[in-house]
């Protein structure tokens, strides 16, 4: 029996139909600006996010990093929520490549406008000027949680009133839109830069975009080149993204329902505490033993999971796992935890 891989929503394999769309893509040299499929994807995503322009990049990491680098100078500060990807999981790029320092605020990945105001450092030669607030929605390490639209508006307004820019890491904005019953455009409203990924819940093999004003995207274009992200016949990858938007976005509620089913099947399991999922990420706390012990036992039984801390397991649903698979995984996880 095939393993049930719940380590991430990045583990999906491109379907035969997606591969055909990739093979059939009309391409050109995108470093010369000549790839029509890349252009089409960039225009479509800019429109979906209500932005003037967008730029196709290989990864979400590059999208975040060039957006933040474009809006800071070395020595500037970026305010970030607890556990944010652009701080915790991007190899220190903000420090190494943008030369920015970070200040972490909030406690569960989200934060308030009051916390932004309290954290802001103004015009003081002894301090690092705070230039950008970065929001992550959905928030990965906080368990795929969604921001309320009112809270987003308050944070963006506070940032702008203080003369800062607001960046949205919307790697999973598609999931956030489904869960919040909003459009991506509504969730991105007011942000100066937005990064989105096609390679997470949407199932493309690679590809992200950064969106914003034409001026910002021009600056991002230069940093994309500097970071080594200029690609040639990238339409092959962009075609997978177009296919993913056309065919995989509408099915995201299925992933959310499967995450809920997994959490419900584990509710009451001995030695486990499960956070009710808002989207496709389920955080499971291990009360006895360690997360890695449960993960090792589950792996031997054909269920792959990730660790999100010494006591915390992360399970992510996606288009390559169905309801039977998640229920099988729940049984294996409960049995593994019961043995500790
Ligand atoms: C919230 C978030 N932002 C950005 C990224 C980075 O994406 P990539 O792995 O394509 O660099 C990830 C990856 O999982 C993520 O979860």
> Given this model, what pLDDT does residue 286 score?
97
Q: How far apart are CA 48 and CA 30, in angstroms?
A: 22
d(CA 176, CA 181): 8
Output the CA torsion 186→36→64→206 (10° steps): 100
Would the pLDDT of 229 be above 90?
Answer: yes
Which atom of ligand 1 lies at the shortest distance from residue 136's CA? 1
What mean pLDDT is reported for the chain? 97
Q: What is the 3-state secondary structure (H, E, C) of 212-225?
A: ECHHHHHHHHHHHH
- In eight-state DSSP terms, residue 32 is G
Give me 206's structure tokens: 């690679």
Using CA positions, which residue lies closest to atom 8 of ligand 1?
Answer: 60
Query: Atom 4 of ligand 1 has which residue's CA nearest to it?
Result: 60
pLDDT per residue over 82-113, tens digit each? 999 999 999 999 999 999 999 999 989 999 99
How deeply is 335 buried, as exposed, middle or buried, from its count of CB atoms within 10 A (0-12, 13-18, 19+)? middle
In the structure, what pLDDT confidence band is assigned to residue 56 with cuts at 50, 70 and 90?
very high
Contact 65, 86 (CB under 8 A): yes
Q: Whose CA is nearest to atom 5 of ligand 1?
A: 60
pLDDT at 25: 98
pLDDT score recorded for residue 102: 97
pLDDT of 302-328, one tens digit each? Answer: 999 999 999 999 999 999 999 999 999
- Kindly tell me if the per-residue pLDDT of 340 is higher than 90: no
Pairing of strands 312-316, 306-309: antiparallel
Distance CA 237, CA 231 (A): 10
Ligand 1 pocket check: which of 91, 140, 176, 205 to mutate, most ligand atoms within 8 Å of Cβ?
140
**Ligand 1 atom with minimal separation from the 206 CA:** 10
pLDDT, position 54: 99
Q: pLDDT tens digits, residue range 162-214?
A: 999 999 999 999 999 999 999 999 999 999 999 999 999 999 999 999 999 99
Q: Summarize the confidence of residues 123-131 as an average pLDDT.
A: 93
Query: Which pLDDT score is estimated for 123?
Result: 81
Ligand 1: nearest atom to the Cα of 8: 14
Report yes or no: 79 and 116 within 8 Å, Cβ to Cβ.
yes
What span, in angstroms and rounded, lies between the C-alpha atoms of 305 and 338?
Answer: 17
Distance CA 310, CA 300 (A): 19
Distance 166 CA to ligand 1 centre (A): 18
Query: Which of 7, 57, 61, 142 should be mutated for ligand 1, with most atoms under 8 A from CB?
Result: 61
Q: Using the mean position of ligand 1's atoms as its centre, give its distance from the Cα of residue 199 in Å.
A: 9
pLDDT in tens, 249-301: 999 999 999 999 999 999 989 999 999 999 999 999 999 999 999 999 999 99
Protein residues whose CB sits closer than 6 Å to any atom of ligand 1: 59-61, 64, 85, 136, 140, 169, 171, 197, 199, 208
Question: Does the pLDDT value for residue 122 go beyond 90?
Answer: no
């Amino acid at each position: 029996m095939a393993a049930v891989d719940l380590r991430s929503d990045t583990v999906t394999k491109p379907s035969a139909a997606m591969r055909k769309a990739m093979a059939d893509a009309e391409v050109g040299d995108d470093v010369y600006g000549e790839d029509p499929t890349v252009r089409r994807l960039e225009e479509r995503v800019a429109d979906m996010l209500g932005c003037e322009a967008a730029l196709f990049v290989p990864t979400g990491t590059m999208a975040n990093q060039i957006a933040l680098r474009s809006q800071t100078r070395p020595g500037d500060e970026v305010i970030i929520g607890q556990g944010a990807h652009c701080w915790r999981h991007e190899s220190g790029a903000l420090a190494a490549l943008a030369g920015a320092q970070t200040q972490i605020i909030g406690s569960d990945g989200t934060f308030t406008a009051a916390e932004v105001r309290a954290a802001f450092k103004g015009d003081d030669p002894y301090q690092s000027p705070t230039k950008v607030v970065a929001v992550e929605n959905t928030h990965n390490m906080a368990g795929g949680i969604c921001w309320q639209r009112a809270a987003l508006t308050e944070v963006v307004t506070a940032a702008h009133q203080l003369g800062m820019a607001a960046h949205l890491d919307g790697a999973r904005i598609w999931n956030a839109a489904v869960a919040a019953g909003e459009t991506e455009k509504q969730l991105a409203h007011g942000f100066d830069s937005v990064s989105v990924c096609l390679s997470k819940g949407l199932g493309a093999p690679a590809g992200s975009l950064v969106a914003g004003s034409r001026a910002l995207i021009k600056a991002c274009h230069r940093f994309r080149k500097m970071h080594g992200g200029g690609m040639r016949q990238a339409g092959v990858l962009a075609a997978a993204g177009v296919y993913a938007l056309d065919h995989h976005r509408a099915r995201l509620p299925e992933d959310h329902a499967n995450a809920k089913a997994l959490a419900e099947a584990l509710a009451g399991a001995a030695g486990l505490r499960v956070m009710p999922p808002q989207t496709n990420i389920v955080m499971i706390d291990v009360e006895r033993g360690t997360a890695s012990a449960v993960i090792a036992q589950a792996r031997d039984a054909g269920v792959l999971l990730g660790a999100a801390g010494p006591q915390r397991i992360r399970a992510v649903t996606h288009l390559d796992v169905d309801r039977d698979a998640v229920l099988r995984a729940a049984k294996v996880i409960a049995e593994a935890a019961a043995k500790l």
